[in-house]
Chain A
Amino acid sequence: MITFEQVSVRYDDTDRPALRDVDLTVEEGELCLVVGHTGVGKSTLLGTVNGLVPHFTGGTLYGRVTVDGRDTAHHPPRELADVVGVVGQDPLDGFVTDTVEEELAYTMEQLAIAPHVMRKRVEETLDLLGLADLRRRALYELSGGQQQRVAIGAVLTAHPRVLVLDEPTSALDPSAAEEVLAAVTRLVHDLGVTVLMAEHRLERVVQYADRVLHLPGDGRVVDGPPAEIFRTSSIAPPIVDLGRAAGWSPLPLSIRDARRAAAPLRGRLAGQPPPPAAAPRGAGRAAEALLKARGVTVSYQGVPAVREVGLDLRGGQVTALMGRNGSGKSSLLWALQGSGPRTSGTVEVAAAADGKAPGDPHTMAPALARRAVGLVPQTPSDLLYLESVQQELAQADRESAAAGPGAGTARALLDRLAPGIDGATHPRDLSEGQKLALVLAIQLSAAPRVLLLDEPTRGLDYRAKTELIRIVGTLAGEGRAVVIATHDVEFVARAADRVVVMAQGDVVADGPTRDVIVASPVFAPQTAKILAPLPFLTVDQVTTALDRLATGPAGPGSGADA
């Protein structure tokens, strides 16, 4: 279906090619997963399939890419629209019309398909993706999962043979992501559509993949069956990490297979007290509440987004704020910081040793509120407006100095968070993880004791997430209270001490990570699902426990795959 022959792609302003000597064939009806760290050329690889690379992005393509017998060198994306359908990360970016039905018809209109055929296909697609109830709704009113399904439907109506999905679930909460992935697998199984999909959160998709294309980072593409590729790849979901640690062979990729393979492991770990999931916080673990919120309500035009939420944030504690899209997480964080609206309720920041007075951040001057509570918004780049990292950092120092003596310069903070960022770089050229670190450094330069992060894990790969976990651990270790709004269960399991779950503006669960997360089948991380009823949450816990067993008084274990 798709053939790459000796394909290399080089962008004009870079010294090394984004893709190098790629030779592969994707057969009809395969679900191909494209994995790799950020910036290794995943999007480039996907772009070559419908000719966006190089027709739209520029750069030079050597070799030959053929899709359904058509050479992309001679066919620009629009001429391939009937063969390849492309769905991007943020569905709202790609919508051309106003309503679901019109959006579904748009591609067909461009392809000059007869009106009666369009009618029929729109109805079929509405049913196939479960969108029939939404047909007349405006696109911007839909939830993220619904929008993404509409975006997939909108390319499907043209009956493409190939579907290219570039991180389709990265903006979605777990259940919306399930919804989209279920739709995709249904397409593969029922219609035989060939799917090429890039995805960061592998734990969601790895079980559906027929084949994995791994981009190790030097421009090459390694392809093979998932169990084989993940045996050695540098990037892997927790289930694979657990399988590797336990030495299972063949590597299980679904929870079902892993649970079957895990019976002996569960037997060995039974009775072992699980080591703490998050890194120990040391001396910073103070019981003192740094921020007290009581009855916080936020409404927009009479519709409440947050309803009478009470929350105590303690120093040295990492709190994860979870809940589906639109459950009021962001509104709560903004209200706690004081910059967002608050309809009623009180927020009080505790007095600090260095003379910061207790008070309500909402009534403080922005410069003071910033010293009390720091917030990193969902799109960190909203805060960046200067030409270089150096200028941003200098500006941050000036802003913080205006509010009193800071806790060191922003540059020092950045070097601690993410060493080795060149000061002359333009902030837009940084990777998502680096941008996050830069904004974090800017906000930390005011030395707030409470730090709120609004969905920082969006768009981060495994390596960047591990980095973030380390950073968050350090911040908590210094005695700060950290709140992270996120959808990422695996991240929460590794980073958070406490989980608060919100639904429709209410707090529905609040407690230690282990209790909240394991109790829910949707929220449980893979390790917990595999080892239930044992209270293990992360692979690190398991390996630590196994090490302890191996060196413990019981003597060396009888091998991991006993």
Chain B
Amino acid sequence: MARTDPGPAESPPPGPGTPPPGPGVPPPGRAAPDTGGRRLPRILHPVAWWIWALALATAVSRTNNPLLLFLVLAVLGYVVTARRTEAPWARGFVYYLYLAATVVAIRVLFRAVFATGITPHDHFLFALPHIPTPDWYAGIQLGGPVSLEALLSAATDGLRLACMLCCIGAANTLANPKRALRVLPGALHELGVAVTVAISVAPQLVQSVRRVARARRLRAGRSKGLTALRGIVVPVLEDALERSLRLAAGMDSRGYGRAGTASRRSRRVTGALMLLGMCGLCAGAYGLLDATAPAFLGLPALGVGALLCVGGLRTGGRRVTRTTYRPDPWRLPEWAVAGTGVLSALLLFANIGYDAAELNPSIYPLSWPTLPPVPTLAILLAGTAGFLAPPPTEPRAVPARRTEKAATT
């Protein structure tokens, strides 16, 4: 429905005093002023997608209810199919689904193998041969009887983790990673660029592996075993190394990493601030999550750590002076998408209008999970991002190639 083609019919006539075109405008000729209208195709701010996805992941962490978890997966699937682009990174969601399935499978398998015993009330399923472990290893039992309850609890646990993974996957699919890296503070610029280079070199690596593997047939080289591997790995790595060096030289001559007002001292101060801040953040997170930790480790440590980090980023950011071409705007759709995500997380944490037990249905005794209305609504609310976000721009080349194909076949 929302995936209409960005044809000229959709573009309103340019009005007087229109702002300069924002990202996602079609090329001149079919000029469309970016008036912030929801239906104009444009790319949503990557941070909005990340907030949405992380909030949803937080919401997921609250529940063990398989029905709710499957609902989250459905919502993710809908939003991704509705709002992803044709770019290479946008085709990766299916791999996250595979990864999620693997996580669940591993979880269940481990629970079956490293059995924790069985109580008389459990539903007995099957028994694995028991492997005796030496005395000093007595804590862990290998094999033995496996109950339905154990497997189900492992599966729901795994499913929760899988859902969180898929949330991250959705963010990666929906937001352009290179644009997302731009919002990194100046001090982390180097890190951002390293990731950028890695992202650029990876597809080239795949290409050169294909090329070299094909070339091996020319020498009638063996296609299996260590020698074959060497015949492929050596040329590919040499190629990649040369490419990276040339890219690095190119970036250097194009002014990447120009020193601002940095001195050796300010760089050391930045480093110290960041390190201390990170320690503070870790200690704070530990204090918050572990109820037995002393009180000062909680919020205070977190606060101090955050402050130190901000300070470090500030001083570090001063040494890199750069500007951004066409920064992504933050408008109503961004607020809406981020808002729905945060709202659904809040609803799941608020315990209003439903019984908290419904979020984590009991396994002992075994009962069919119910679908509590408020959390269901909260998750469906997150799904509205699928039409709250503007449709993404279609890359020019894709329709062109399709017509070319149609013409030639």
Q: Check: B265 CB closer than 8 A to any chain A CB.
A: no
Q: Please tell me the size bucket of the interface on B.
A: 35 or more
Q: Check: B137 CB closer than 8 A to any chain A CB.
A: no
Q: Which residues of B contact A109 (CB under 8 A)?
A: 322-325
Q: Please tell me the size bucket of the interface on A.
A: 35 or more
| B interface with A by C-beta (< 8 Å) | 20, 26-28, 87, 176, 178, 196-197, 200, 204, 211-212, 214-221, 230-232, 234-235, 238-239, 243, 246-259, 321-327, 393, 395-397, 401, 404-405, 408-409
Q: List 5 A-B contacts (CB under 8 A).
A: A110-B255, A132-B28, A154-B254, A302-B408, A446-B220
A411-429 interface bits toward B, Cβ cutoff 8 Å, 1 = contact, 0 = none: 0000000000000000010
Query: Are A52 and B254 interface neighbours, CB within 8 A?
Result: no
* A192 smallest CB distance to B (angstroms): 21
Q: Check: A283 CB closer than 8 A to any chain B CB.
A: no
A72-112 interface bits toward B, Cβ cutoff 8 Å, 1 = contact, 0 = none: 00001111111011101010111111100110011111111
Of B26, B327, B395, the residue contacting A138 (CB under 8 A) is B395
Query: Are B256 and A78 interface neighbours, CB within 8 A?
Result: yes
Q: Which residues of A contact B246 (CB under 8 A)?
A: 88, 90, 93-94
Q: Check: A23 CB closer than 8 A to any chain B CB.
A: no
Query: Are A138 and B218 interface neighbours, CB within 8 A?
Result: no
* A83 smallest CB distance to B (angstroms): 10
The CB with the most chain A CB atoms within 10 A, among B200, B247, B258, B404, is that of: B258
Query: Are B409 and A122 interface neighbours, CB within 8 A?
Result: no
Q: Check: A403 CB closer than 8 A to any chain B CB.
A: yes
Of B26, B214, B323, the residue contacting A114 (CB under 8 A) is B323
Q: Which residues of B contact A55 (CB under 8 A)?
A: 252
Q: Which residues of A contact B409 (CB under 8 A)?
A: 302
Query: Are B215 and A382 interface neighbours, CB within 8 A?
Result: yes
With A96-B247, A377-B218 given, can you name 9 additional A-B contacts, CB distance below 8 Å? A76-B252, A84-B253, A96-B251, A96-B254, A109-B322, A110-B254, A110-B256, A110-B257, A115-B325
Of B252, B323, B324, the residue contacting A52 (CB under 8 A) is B252
Query: Are A399 and B255 interface neighbours, CB within 8 A?
Result: no
| A interface with B by C-beta (< 8 Å) | 50, 52, 55-56, 76-82, 84-86, 88, 90, 92-98, 101-102, 105-115, 118-119, 122, 132-133, 135-138, 141, 154-155, 158, 302-304, 334, 337, 339-340, 365-367, 369-370, 374-375, 377, 379, 381-385, 396, 399, 402-403, 428, 442-443, 446
Q: Which residues of A contact B326 (CB under 8 A)?
A: 101, 105, 115, 119
Q: Which residues of A contact B234 (CB under 8 A)?
A: 385
Q: Given A52-B249, A136-B396, A112–B219 Cβ distance below 8 Å?
A: no
Of B214, B215, B243, B408, the residue contacting A303 (CB under 8 A) is B408
Query: Are B408 and A381 interface neighbours, CB within 8 A?
Result: no
Of B200, B323, B325, the residue contacting A102 (CB under 8 A) is B325
Query: Are B214 and A81 interface neighbours, CB within 8 A?
Result: no
Docked pose: A105 CA to B214 CA in angstroms: 37
Query: Are B397 and A141 interface neighbours, CB within 8 A?
Result: yes
Q: Which residues of B contact A365 (CB under 8 A)?
A: 220
Nearest opposing residue in chain A for B248, CB measure: A56
Q: Given A109-B325, A115-B324, A385-B230, A78–B252 Cβ distance below 8 Å?
A: yes
Q: Given A52-B249, A112-B323, A381-B235, A78–B218 Cβ distance below 8 Å?
A: no
Query: Are A93 and B250 interface neighbours, CB within 8 A?
Result: yes
Q: Given A118-B325, A122-B325, A138-B395, A385–B231 Cβ distance below 8 Å?
A: yes
Q: Which residues of B contact A383 (CB under 8 A)?
A: 215-216, 218-219, 235
Nearest opposing residue in chain B for A82, CB measure: B255
Q: Which residues of B contact A443 (CB under 8 A)?
A: 218-219
The CB with the most chain B CB atoms within 10 A, among A92, A122, A337, is that of: A92
Query: Are A110 and B258 interface neighbours, CB within 8 A?
Result: yes
Nearest opposing residue in chain A for B257, CB measure: A78
Query: Are B255 and A370 interface neighbours, CB within 8 A?
Result: no
Query: Are B247 and A93 interface neighbours, CB within 8 A?
Result: yes
Of all A-B residue pairs in the complex, the 4 with the closest CB atoms, nearest first, are A81-B255, A105-B325, A94-B250, A110-B255
Nearest opposing residue in chain B for A133, CB measure: B27
Query: Are A86 and B211 interface neighbours, CB within 8 A?
Result: no
* A71 smallest CB distance to B (angstroms): 17
